[in-house]
Amino acid sequence: MMLLHYFNAFLVRAVLLFLCALAMPVLANEPAISIENAWVRAVPPVSATTAAYFTATNNGDAAIRITGVSTEIAGAAEMHDMSPNEDGTRSMRRMKTLTLAPNESVTFSPGGMHLMLFRLNHVPVEGESVSICLLADDAMEICQDFVTKK
Ligand SMILES: [Cu+2]
């Protein structure tokens, strides 16, 4: 009885170790960026462009450099920022990269940084979810469902 008990304990430990070994590579590849409050602006069905917003947080211990955006519903997608002009108006400009330091959080919101989706091949309707991926160095892809709203 005693021997069987020890054997079982050993087996449980062996199985746990095995499961940990399996889980480890998965955890290592998990994107360190989390995305919240992701939404796409609902636009009229004839629109060729729309914008998307979110908050991204780098939960890892290394800086992450975002280098691009991709989504199936648009021919092209870019990160944009708004910057002031000399006459007091503001224009949007493309940001080619955005680096998030460890524990840093950035918010893309109306009037500020935003994702611009060009040449829409599908205009999402209010309530529809759209997958948008941020592309980062080391072939990292952070994909998130963005909900469409006004
Ligand atoms: Cu823009």
Helix (H/G/I), strand (E/B), else coil: 26: helix
Q: What is the separation of C-alpha 47 from the centre of its chain, rounded to a whole number of angstroms?
A: 24
Q: CB atoms < 10 A from the CB of 114, how many?
A: 21
Class for the domain spanning 33-149: mainly beta
Q: How far is the CA of 45 from the centre of ligand 1 (A)?
A: 19
Q: Model pTM?
A: 0.79
- pLDDT of amino acid 10: 60
Q: Would you state the torsion angle of the CA atoms of residues 87, 90, 91, 95, taken in this order, to the nearest 10 degrees?
A: 120
Q: How far is the CA of 104 from the centre of ligand 1 (A)?
A: 23
Q: How far is the CA of 131 from the centre of ligand 1 (A)?
A: 19
The beta strand positions in the chain, using DSSP E, are: 33-41, 50-58, 64-71, 74-84, 90-95, 98-100, 105-108, 114-120, 129-136, 140-149
Q: How far is the CA of 148 from the centre of ligand 1 (A)?
A: 17
Helix (H/G/I), strand (E/B), else coil: 85: coil
Find out whether 65 and 97 touch, Cβ atoms under 8 Å.
yes
- Give me the residue spans of the domains in the chain: 1-30, 33-149
Q: How long, in residues, is the chain?
A: 150
Q: How far is the CA of 98 from the centre of ligand 1 (A)?
A: 15
Residue by residue, pLDDT tens for the chain (150 residues) are 555 565 566 666 665 565 555 555 555 556 699 999 999 999 999 999 999 999 999 999 999 999 999 999 999 999 999 989 999 999 999 999 999 999 999 999 999 999 999 999 999 999 999 999 999 999 999 999 999 999
Written as six digits, the tokens of 65 are 């450099």
